[in-house]
Chains A and B, each alone.
Chain A
Amino acid sequence: MTGLLGTMTHNPQLNRNGRLQHLLTTEGLPAPVLLNILDTAESFMGVTERDVKKVPLLRGKSVFNLFFEPSTRTRTTFEIAAKRLSADVVNLNIAASSQSKGETLLDTVDNLSAMHADMFVVRHSQSGAPHLIARHVRPEIHVINAGDGRHAHPTQALLDMFTIRRYKRDFHTLRVAIVGDILHSRVARSQIHALTTLGVPEVRVIAPKTLLPAKVERLGVRVFHEMAQGLKDIDVLMMLRLQQERMLNARLPSTEEYFKYYGLTPEKLALAKSGAIVLHPGPMNRGVEIDSAVADGSQSVILPQVTFGIAVRMAVMSILTGT
């Protein structure tokens, strides 16, 4: 569906030849593009198991980690991925530097472009900031969205898809449930687009009404408010992190009540299919959205997710650079 103007509605991630120029969101990317990333990541898995965990693919390229919002964890995975591709990595924690001096987002980007950046990995608290940067930079510069506001976190969603494929093989037979704060979650939005594009026939979201955005069913999901119904026949559970500030603006009464109704305990996990796997983007709030017995249990694939994350980010970086 498009609006009257139509001018801004072409997919800004693909170049004229339909190849990936930037990775900003999983929305609107054709399934072959997503599968190519997963397949490429699969071949990088071999690299990470060798003595020398490094290939020369991005030798001489400069990757700038542009983090306007602090996140040591995500930044580190991008840094490792870039270094394993032999790129030079520069980490910039912008929140602490230029923004406080009144420099605008695009000023910062212009300055770094002048230092011959080849790729920007952008984390920003505002939805759409990576789109703005991608529209602004020279065509030879690539932008990867490492999480923007509530909008998108495509590499997280891709590593989740990689994980699901490793354990469940075929997307076309799965029922997947995403549990928790959908409203504020960029991870959930990117997961939903990736899952529906890859042919998962049923994607569910399970949350109280205060944590669901308007018309979320238009994204192609079924809405549930209760775990008992929502987890029935589920193959894959994707848990979301609950931010403490949701208690402050009257969206939830307490973490205790949330845990009681939406926290994933072994008892609730037993409602899903027997071989169901549990994912979490991390960092986890144990005892809030997930019980330790589940997080550390046999159905958890949370640690493999982290390992796969490196290979997936290597795949994205090398596909973009080769475009």
Chain B
Amino acid sequence: MEMMELPDAEQLLANLADQLRPDINEATALVGIYTGGVWLAERLHESLNILLPVGSLDVSFYRDDFSQIGLHPQVKPSDIQFGVEGSHIILVDDVLFTGRTIRAAINELFDYGRPASIRLATLVDRGGRELPVAAQYIAATLALPPDKMLALNKSTEGKLSLSLYDRAPRDNDA
């Protein structure tokens, strides 16, 4: 699998921006999910000239695997600076896999208020869903074996790239 050709994250991001552009208006808010989703949301926020401030979510407090794996040692504070009540939110995550993270993120968003709508944008849909979750905006679809983990990285210059790891035994990400 090491030899597998991974798509260029920067190209995927541009693709994702193109998909989103027609649907953006003054009521659109982007919310990224830590960590990769926040990087993407910030870049999209910039390139799409979105008015409402970009939000970030750390779903650690909402995860359903908390009792098995405990609290992530570096929980980041969630930060939503716009009124969630009645807003049109596009959730941004790097990789869509089981759907559990998205479930947790939607739950958390509702604790800030009742949005008018939530859509989901993702760089890569790798399949393997365990919950009925679907993304409206997908830059790429990849079929990956379940023991591999796909991650988004950011270089010191801010360049985004994808990489593939062996999954840690108890990790239950994406």
Contacts and interface: CB of A to CB of B under 8 A. Distances in A.
A40 B76 CA distance: 8
A319 B71 contact: yes
A55 interface: yes
Given A51-B111, A52-B112, A43 B78 contact: yes
Contacts of B62: 55-57
B107 interface: yes
B58 A43 contact: yes
Q: Is the interface of A mostly helix, strand, loop or mixed?
A: helix
Interface string A225-264: 0000000000000000000000000000000000000000
B107 A56 contact: yes
Contacts of A30: none
B146 interface: no
A50 B78 CA distance: 10
Contacts of A47: 61, 78
A321 interface: yes
B46 interface: no
Given A51-B112, A322-B66, A56 B61 contact: yes
A139 interface: no
B132 interface: no
Size bracket, chain A contacts: 20 to 34
Nearest to B63: A57
B74 A39 contact: yes
A322 B70 contact: yes
B67 interface: yes
Interface string B91-126: 000000000000000011011110000000000000
A318 B74 contact: no
Interface in A38-84: 39-40, 42-47, 50-52, 54-57
A310 to B, nearest CB: 14
B27 interface: no
A57 B60 CA distance: 9
B79 interface: yes
B61 A57 contact: yes
B111 A43 contact: no
A43 B112 contact: no
Contacts of A57: 61-62, 66, 71
B78 A36 contact: no
A307 interface: no
Contacts of A51: 111-113
Q: Quick one: which of B62, B75, B110, B113 has the most chain A CB within 10 A?
A: B75
B61 A55 contact: yes
Contacts of A322: 66-67, 69-71
Interface in A1-54: 19, 36, 39-40, 42-47, 50-52, 54
Contacts of A55: 61-62, 108, 111
Contacts of A318: 61, 66, 71
Contacts of B60: 43
A-B pairs, top 3 by smallest CB distance, nearest first, are: A322-B70, A52-B111, A55-B61
